[in-house]
Amino acid sequence: MSASTAQVRGGLPPALAAVVDDYEEHLRGARELSDHTVRAYVTDTVSLLDHLARRSGTRADDLDLAALRSWLAKGRTTGDGRATTARRAASARSFTAWLRRTGLTPEDVGLRLVSPKAHRTLPEVLAPAQARAVVESTAGAEEPVGLRDALVLELLYASGIRVSELVGLDVDDVDRGRHLLRVLGKGRKERSVPYGLPAERALDAWLTRGRPALATDRSGPALLLGARGGRLDAREARRTVHTAVAATPGAPDIGPHGLRHSAATHVLEGGADLRSVQELLGHASLATTQIYTHVTVERLRAVHAQAHPRA
């Protein structure tokens, strides 16, 4: 939570400040959301309740549809785009639904809140040859950091896991006999994700020649280590991806999430069904996964336009 949000939160009427405290506890405890997600929800909630207080509201049941609408409208006048407005509206609806479930309001006023749908842009993805060049960019490395970077690239593309999931892996999360990763995803939901032979070779090189050279008392069970022996930071993993992508001619400027997009797209293009890709990526809703069908259709159209004699 930023300093400005903390200051605004501290200035809320006592009853509204108590509501924020209870809601944050619900997000962390009952829903087990990540720290980043909790901060985002709390920031929006504090902003909404500060707006309510400026409209003379002092209790949660003072929140009505007019206050919600004027809060979103205020954001639009100060520069919020469609995507931000849609996100803030979704955050508000989550909050008002919780208020109703806990009995703090007689009705869920957020049910009638309409917001603009965010434009959903297609994620940039690598072509298969570009993906191969990216993950093989550290081939032949023998120093510990190079062996680690090779594994970072191989696992991100081979499994399609998030960078936060990657750096959270422990050594015991790898089932080398079955080529499976035990991944703890969003909402602390656990899933098993397969990886292939190239990633297994990179894993073997890292565990036999790389990790032992970097391991210290600080390492604990972490699979991937930084140069000083602690668990690898997600920022360093992102730098590894950006460096490899920048060295690949014609590749779009993507990070770890772009490798995830690329893996999902290439698996679909290889014939996998959408449900399998949903499980692979750990999406709670199939609707989230369906964006990749648009990516593959767009690529099909491009190939058709370039190659078909009557395109």
**Known active-site residue 292:** yes
User: What DSSP line would sit under 42-108, residue for residue?
Assistant: HHHHHHHHHHHHHTT--SGGG--HHHHHHHHHHHHHTT--HHHHHHHHHHHHHHHHHHHHTTSSSS-
Distances 173 to 44, 165, 192 between C-alpha atoms, Å = 35, 11, 9
Cα(86)–Cα(84) distance, rounded to whole angstroms?
A: 5
Q: Which of 186, 228, 275, 299 is catalytic?
A: 186
Q: Which of 9, 148, 231, 260 is catalytic?
A: 260
Per-state percent for the chain, helix, strand, coil, to nearest 5: 60, 5, 35
What is the DSSP pairing of strand 180-184 with strand 174-175?
antiparallel
Q: Which residue has the tokens 């994620």?
A: 123
Q: Which of 51, 88, 231, 283 is catalytic?
A: 283
Q: Which of 28, 39, 257, 299 is catalytic?
A: 257
Cα(208)–Cα(206) distance, rounded to whole angstroms?
A: 6
**Known active-site residue 283:** yes
Q: Which of 162, 231, 261, 266 is catalytic?
A: 162
Enter the tokens of residue 28: 């962390």
Q: What are phi and psi of 12, to 5 degrees?
A: -70, 150
**Known active-site residue 257:** yes
Q: Which of 23, 157, 195, 292 is catalytic?
A: 292
SS3 19: helix
**Known active-site residue 186:** yes
- Active site (catalytic) residues: 162, 186, 257, 260, 283, 292
